[in-house]
Structure 1
Amino acid sequence: MFQLYLKEKYNLQADFLKTASTNCGNNVTNVLVLAKENDLPTNRIIVMQDTTMQRRMHTVFRKESPASQIINYATYQNHIVVSDNRLVFEAQPAGM
């Protein structure tokens, strides 16, 4: 999605792009492999994710790269409410 956004909005492409991840934990391990393969520093990492996945991403980075300074940035916030005895999004998140 990031690559598509860069291409459509700015006619750019990502310098590095991993596409094989199947979950948040896998995203972390794959990006750390990519960083190592390309000699990219991992002493400071910005994690950009929606709030439903932010804590998980942070925790996996802490486990897999404990020396890194993790900076969290939630790209948007989801508000959860109770409706008919169920937890639901207050407003449907864009693109979900």
Structure 2
Amino acid sequence: MRYTDEEKSQAVSAWRESGLTQKDYASSIGIPHSTFHVWTMQASGSNTESIEEKWTRRVSEWRASGLSQRAFAMREGIKRSSLQDWNQRLP
């Protein structure tokens, strides 16, 4: 099945609100985790953001989330150690 950009965007938004990991959410909607991961990367604009901009955004989202670094990293599908490193680098 082909998904429109709007459907992909809605799925990513629903995942962010769900609190599930990318893998669990992808499974719940019946798509491969690797496909859903690509959708999340596209939704975050990772093709146009610099690495520092991406991590600045992620660290800000983590700080506002109220989650532990571990829980946030699992939810976002990123390494906790990378989140920790960037949190220390950024003001």
| Same fold by TM-score greater than 0.5 | no
TM (norm. structure 2) is 0.33
Higher relative contact order (CA 8 A, sep 6+): 2
Q: TM-score, normalised by structure 1?
A: 0.32
> Greater share of helix residues, 1 or 2?
2
| Structure (1/2) with the larger strand percentage | 1
- Asked which structure has the greater CA Rg, the reply is 1
